[in-house]
């Protein structure tokens, strides 16, 4: 197994400053100069974080790659712990600009305009934790993710997500996936309350519906619409609006 390069070899400029936090504060014309940037004592060359002025944002996580010279970012919301944006770049000045915009509370679209390497995952911010809006945000992220996939069965999986979203009885629930299986909850994260069948998209173009995880014991179907209709038939009619799972 090849050994990883010494971080000081990959990042000699960072090593000269003592930490990723220190070198970030000098990037992009010092745009982070007055902002608190921290690096952990355990790996100061590889990690840094920048807090936001907005309470509904976690500190932006900045990570240096261990096998080549590149950096990744991850911006999350704290209630569910889910990512709002990520990205990777070999330009540390871009990272500094993204971090400053995150810190200042800029809108997500504005952060991407300030640093084009930023990838918005599809979720939107819900500061008041409205559960219905959180469900809408998760559907949006799931639909974007399905459209962005590069796997051979992308179209099959995307058709399943779109068919489920088009069905009002499912759209009012909170969607989530595990190993690309589509499931539903009457509560948001962090504490899900699973209801209804599990839907799967097969690599052979078929769609499964099952009572348990992945196993299609309720049938295999040729189209996503047929699978979704079978799943809706198994739902309790008394399911109300989504509530908070925290």
Secondary structure of residue 163 in the 3-state scheme: helix
pLDDT, one tens digit for every residue, the chain (246 residues): 567 789 999 999 999 999 999 999 999 999 999 999 999 999 999 999 999 999 999 999 999 999 999 999 999 999 999 999 999 999 999 999 999 999 999 999 999 999 999 999 999 999 999 999 999 999 999 999 999 988 778 899 999 999 999 999 999 999 999 878 999 999 999 999 999 999 999 989 999 999 977 788 899 999 999 999 999 999 988 787 899 998
Q: Please report, for residues 95, 152, 186, 212, 225, the alpha-carbon distance to residue 161 in angstroms, rounded to integers and kept in the order given.
A: 33, 16, 18, 19, 10
What's the rounded Cα separation, in Å, for the pair 63 and 20? 9
Q: What is the pLDDT of residue 2?
A: 62
Query: Please, how many CA atoms are within 13 Å of residue 142, restricted to the half-sphere of its CB?
Result: 26
What's the rounded Cα separation, in Å, for the pair 177 and 179? 6
What's the rounded Cα separation, in Å, for the pair 27 and 33? 9
Q: How many residues does the chain have?
A: 246
What's the pTM value of the predicted model, to 2 decimals? 0.93
Q: What is the pLDDT of residue 67?
A: 93
Q: Please say whether the beta carbons of 8 and 47 come within 8 A.
A: no
What's the rounded Cα separation, in Å, for the pair 178 and 159? 17
Alpha-helical segments (H) within 26-176: 92-104, 108-114, 131-148, 154-165, 168-171
Q: What is the pLDDT of residue 13?
A: 96
DSSP 53: S
CA dihedral 80, 144, 173, 243 (to 10 degrees): 30
């Amino acid at each position: 197994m090849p050994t990883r390069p010494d971080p000081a070899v990959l990042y000699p400029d960072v090593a000269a400053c003592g930490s990723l936090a220190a070198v970030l504060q000098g990037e992009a014309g010092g745009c982070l100069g007055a902002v608190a940037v921290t690096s952990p004592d355990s790996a100061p060359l590889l990690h840094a974080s920048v807090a936001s002025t907005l309470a509904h944002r976690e500190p932006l996580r900045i990570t240096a790659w261990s096998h080549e010279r590149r950096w990744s970012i991850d911006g999350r919301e704290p209630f569910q712990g889910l990512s709002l944006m990520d990205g990777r770049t070999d330009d540390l000045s871009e990272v500094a600009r993204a971090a400053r915009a995150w810190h200042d509370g800029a809108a997500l679209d504005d952060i991407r305009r300030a640093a084009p390497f930023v990838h918005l995952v599809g979720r939107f911010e819900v500061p008041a934790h409205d559960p219905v809006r959180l469900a809408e945000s998760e559907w949006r992220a799931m639909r974007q993710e399905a459209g962005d996939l590069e796997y051979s069965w992308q179209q099959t999986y995307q058709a399943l997500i779109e068919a489920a979203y088009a069905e009002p009885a499912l759209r009012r629930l909170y969607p989530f996936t595990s190993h690309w299986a589509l499931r539903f909850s009457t509560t948001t994260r962090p504490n899900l309350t699973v209801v209804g069948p599990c839907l799967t998209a097969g690599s052979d173009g078929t769609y499964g519906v099952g009572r348990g995880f992945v196993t299609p014991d309720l049938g295999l179907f040729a189209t996503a619409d047929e699978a979704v209709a079978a799943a809706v038939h198994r739902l309790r009619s008394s399911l109300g609006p989504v509530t908070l799972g925290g």
